[in-house]
Amino acid sequence: MKPVERLIFALDVPDIKSAESFVNLLAGSVGLFKVGLELFAATGPSVLELIKKAGADFFLDLKLHDIPKTVERAMAVIANSGASLATVHAAGGPAMLEAAAKGAKGKTRVLAVTVLTSQGEEDARAAGAASVSELVVARAIMAQKAGCHGVICSGLEAAKVKAATGPGFLCVCPGIRLDASQGKDDQVRVVTPENAISQGADYIVIGRPIRDAKDPVAAAREIARRMGG
């Protein structure tokens, strides 16, 4: 895969008009568009049609967390929408993760969110784990056993996840910042694009550093360059 194909842009915008202008602007400069809670709540499936019409692929990041049957049925609808990637919360447990994988029917790759990149060591201790990385790896192993295709983790844990699960299990890493001076916003576990890739990330997810850049296309190109091409 070329570096640009590993770059996922988080389309964190409030309405279909802003989504459309970013999709038209960035279609050749990023690998996938990630549709999350804000945009999907605002537009429903129409934004997915818009992305497909632009000839691009999408990641539907709804972070499902419910009883297994509900998750299975929701994931079946997501798979029929043509999503390349979709998320569920690993905290939902093995039965829910198995149901998600079953609902996706091999059409959509299911990623389990291990520990949000906005969380830190105190959150891991509150969940009864010794550290964030211990909790991330334990949840990654659980997700793999349940038939998921990969996890969402930070670049700080990607190498440990790969060591525990093998190279074919996907690591998708948000919490990317171009340098320390850029500010973390609400993220806690942040790394640079080149660090995430060198730690084994298959894809990186970037929102605000591209969305809020003066020139989003130039920012995306610079990130792809730093990812190795």
Judged by the rule CB under 6 A, the positions of this chain that interact with ligand C5P are: 10, 12, 36, 113, 116-117, 152, 174-176, 185, 187, 205-209
Minimum CB separation of residue 152 from ligand C5P in Å reads 5
CB 178 within 8 A of CB 218: no
Residue 69 vs 110, nearer CB to ligand C5P: 110
Q: Which residues carry out catalysis?
A: 63
The residue with its CB nearest to ligand C5P is 207
Task: Give the C-alpha separation, 209 to 187, whole Å.
Answer: 12
Residue 69 vs 151, nearer CB to ligand C5P: 151
First to last CA, the chain: 11
Minimum CB separation of residue 190 from ligand C5P in Å reads 8
Expressed in percent and rounded to 5, the helix, strand and coil fractions of the chain are 50, 15, 35
Minimum CB separation of residue 35 from ligand C5P in Å reads 9
> Residue 175: CB partners within 8 Å, gap ≥ 6?
117, 118, 154, 155, 187, 188, 189, 190, 191
CB 9 within 8 A of CB 22: yes
Residue 10 vs 97, nearer CB to ligand C5P: 10
> Residue 46: CB partners within 8 Å, gap ≥ 6?
16
How do 32-35 and 7-10 pair as beta strands? parallel
DSSP 33: E
Minimum CB separation of residue 204 from ligand C5P in Å reads 9
Minimum CB separation of residue 119 from ligand C5P in Å reads 8
Residue 36 phi, psi (nearest 5): -115, -165
Residue 37 vs 77, nearer CB to ligand C5P: 37
Residue 50 vs 178, nearer CB to ligand C5P: 178
